[in-house]
Structure 1
Amino acid sequence: MDEQLKQIGERLRGLRDVLDIPVSEMAETIGIDSEKYEKIEKGELDITISNLMKIAHKYGVSAEELMFAEAPHMKSYFVVRKGQGMSVERTKAYKYQSLVSGFVNHQADVFIVTVEPKPGARTIYKNTHPGQEFNMVLEGKMELFIGGKTIILDEGDSIYFDSSKPHGMLAVGDKPVKFLAFTVEKN
């Protein structure tokens, strides 16, 4: 994961350099101070997928280019075979596999997210991003926290919600939870 964080940081720094964007503007885009943002560019601090999507949207690049260094090429359709989507392990507990990374100008981001269980964990990192999100549990069970609510989702359950509300999740039990996450930003 450390190498992935460094590579993402390098791509963010490259984007900022090419577009002549001050550190303070990038930090403001994702709602953090400049010092923290500089740590992201150095690969010393993690950045959430939602914050990568905010940067990508604002500066006209795809989130996949920032995450994977690959630009989408397909315009008519894009097939992802089982287990073959481009993936990034965001932290030890979260893995995102993109299902739309190769389609040019996709209007939504679709991931299969795998969350490893953290026995005894009660602290949840919550994030926000503009728009709406759809989650459907493919395997396992999760606790989803939205605003002040806690919702248990079992295999086959789904939820659609306002993703501008703080939200986060935990795997329930001793098995990972795998779910489809579909995010769409309202224009």
Structure 2
Amino acid sequence: MDAFRAEVKELKIGQTIRDLRQVRRMTLQDLAVATELSKPLLSQIENDQVIPPLATLLRIAKALNVPLQKFFEEEDDTRKCLVVKAGEADRMSRRPSHGGKPQPYFYHSLAYGKQHKHMEPFLVEFDPSRTEQSQPVRHPGEEFFYILEGQVELQHGNDTYLLEAGDSVYWDSNEPHSLKALGNEIARGIAVLYTKT
């Protein structure tokens, strides 16, 4: 657990959120109202006790009027072209949590050094042993997902889709949606999130 907490603190998501909130002279209660998230959850995030899932980060980014990539920037990188070599994505690997429980997936930023981008690409790995922890989320924007290996079930609104290696799907993320691995093998895919800022 100590190693996990140290890893969470190293990401500095909570510190970034707190700094942005304080610059805007917002209280935790103000942020809770703007995001429709609970004040205790936001406090846990700011104190690096919880790694928020992407949907939660999107809500916070919208409330603080910053692009989602603000939470993935490591340096002031203004290159026109960014290459992430094999293995480097692990530097921005994280398992989000929802309601205090880890979500059944890891996500790895594939463009963690690029600022001012309109898309967020991720390598996503789904843990089939934690499928019961999958929670539907919704947020402004659109998503694209391409399955590299394994089987994944997508719940989108009232519809369910079975996705296998080579399949792709594009959806409106304003609708409640969730993804989870099927079977006993870890499933992997490339996800691209687009948000209007």
TM-score by length of 1: 0.85
d(CA) in 2 for partners of 1:169 and 1:186?
22
d(CA) in 2 for partners of 1:72 and 1:166?
34
Matching residue of 1:84: 88
Shift of the alpha carbon at 1:171?
0.8
Matching residue of 1:105: 116
Deviations 1:92-111 (A, max 9, x none): 53211111222220011110
- Alpha carbon RMSD of aligned pairs, Å? 2.3
Q: Is 2:55 the counterpart of 1:50?
A: yes
d(CA) in 2 for partners of 1:144 and 1:72?
36
Q: 1:108-187 maps to which residues of 2 (within 5 A)?
A: 108-118=119-129, 121-186=131-196
Q: How many residues get paired? A: 185
Pick closer, same or farther for the CA change 1:29–1:131 going to 2, 3 Å. same
d(CA) in 2 for partners of 1:72 and 1:149?
42
Pick closer, same or farther for the CA change 1:23–1:56 going to 2, 3 Å. same
Instruction: Tell me if the contact between 1:108 and 1:183 (Cα under 8 Å) persists in the aligned partners.
Output: yes
TM-score by length of 2: 0.82
d(CA) in 2 for partners of 1:40 and 1:125?
18
d(CA) in 1 for partners of 2:161 and 2:129?
18
Instruction: Tell me if the contact between 2:110 and 2:122 (Cα under 8 Å) persists in the aligned partners.
Output: yes
Unmatched 5+ residue regions in structure 2? 97-101
Q: Is 2:34 the counterpart of 1:25?
A: no
Q: SS where residue 97 of structure 1 aligns?
A: strand
Pick closer, same or farther for the CA change 1:161–1:114 going to 2, 3 Å. same
Shift of the alpha carbon at 1:4?
4.0
d(CA) in 2 for partners of 1:32 and 1:75?
35
Shift of the alpha carbon at 1:20?
1.9
Q: Aligned AA for 1:158?
A: S
Matching residue of 1:3: 6
Shift of the alpha carbon at 1:61?
4.1
Higher mean alpha-carbon deviation, 134-143 vs 22-31, is at 22-31
Shift of the alpha carbon at 1:49?
1.4
Unmatched 5+ residue regions in structure 1? none
Instruction: Tell me if the contact between 2:135 and 2:178 (Cα under 8 Å) persists in the aligned partners.
Output: yes
Q: Aligned AA for 1:117?
A: P
Shift of the alpha carbon at 1:65?
4.1
More helix by percentage: 2
